[in-house]
Amino acid sequence: MQVTGSMRSTGSESWRSWGWRFHPNLLVTGRLHFPQLALRRRLGQLSCMSRPALKLRSWPLTVLYYLLPFGALRPLSRVGWRPVSRVALYKSVPTRLLSRAWGRLNQVELPHWLRRPVYSLYIWTFGVNMKEAAVEDLHHYRNLSEFFRRKLKPQARPVCGLHSVISPSDGKILNFGQVKNCEVEQVKGVTYSLESFLGPRTSTDDLPFAPATPCGSFRNQLVTREGNELYHCVIYLAPGDYHCFHSPTDWTVSHRRHFPGSLMSVNPGMARWIKELFCHNERVVLTGDWKHGFFSLTAVGATNVGSIRIYFDRDLHTNSPRYSKGSYNDFSFVTHANKEGIPMRKGEHLGEFNLGSTIVLIFEAPKDFNFKLKAGQKIRFGEALGSL
């Protein structure tokens, strides 16, 4: 390569070292040489493309930008190209489609001879305790879906009767406490909007709590009794956990709201990385009331967890192609024949996930309600969350 006098360095030939050296028509970094004018013309062509086409052309470069060592593609930023952010790149992954494919794969019946090695590998990887399973024989489970949704022995999870709210599932406590300023913490320091998560108020005819004043915040619309506060608790279910969830207290479910959405991972690391992750993901919000006022339980979907099942709701179909992201659909359990809704007893079976996910409780309670938890602790279904 011929180098102009302005780029030569007497003795040291510093133009060969790693770093930037400029030439009117050339960008040099290490051993990679970028024709600057050609790149500018190409980027000008890309800027005229439609947004989907531009993303399609930009993604391969972005992936290489984050994978190649030594910042090999950084010279492209000098001519106007910018990589898609890691968060945007992750959000663009077709997680709903991949989760549907995973769901189909889970339902494929495994040959009898293959069941033990496949399930044993899963048990070893995620630390599953099969001694608690109602059926310990691995050959009993015809496919992965049945294994994920295995039931427990009746005595494996005694329900604590002395506390007003119990854990609805096995899992890890990510966060808990009072809801303040209409913001809820998904993990410490990372919040999401309460209204975005639960959605706007429905008709007051369908809800058991009284209407709020027009000037009240969304939080104040949910707190219906003087002297009460709004509380929340987030429980993360790992892939090795028991995947069913139960009623956390005695309450009445009057309304269901289904948010079709993304199916991004909800593990604690991802929850710290993506703000309002729970608001982006597919979720099913059950609302109603208990003895102290408003009560809600939300099942949040995740990657490969497109299936959220509520046992008493046969009309619910999650991760369905007929529902588009950004919308929601409502269903009321209050009818002329049933004016109260669906009564649930503490510890009663409520629903199930495939694989793992997250349960979020948001409820109203008196100011002296106390959580008996520590952030990050492991908890099992039936153990106490808090009481008055």
The residues that are catalytic are 170, 246, 357
Burial class of 212 by CB neighbour count within 10 A (0 to 12, 13 to 18, 19+):
middle
Distance of CA 122 to the CA centre of its chain: 22
197 near 278, Cβ under 8 Å?
A: yes
236 near 267, Cβ under 8 Å?
A: yes
CA 155 to CA 146: how far, in whole Å?
A: 21
Tell me the residue ranges of DSSP E strands in 271-388.
283-290, 293-300, 308-310, 329-332, 342-344, 349-353, 358-366, 370-371, 378-379, 384-387
249 near 183, Cβ under 8 Å?
A: no
Can you read off the two tokens belonging to residue 324?
């588009």
Torsion angle, alpha carbons of 215, 221, 224, 225, to 10: -50
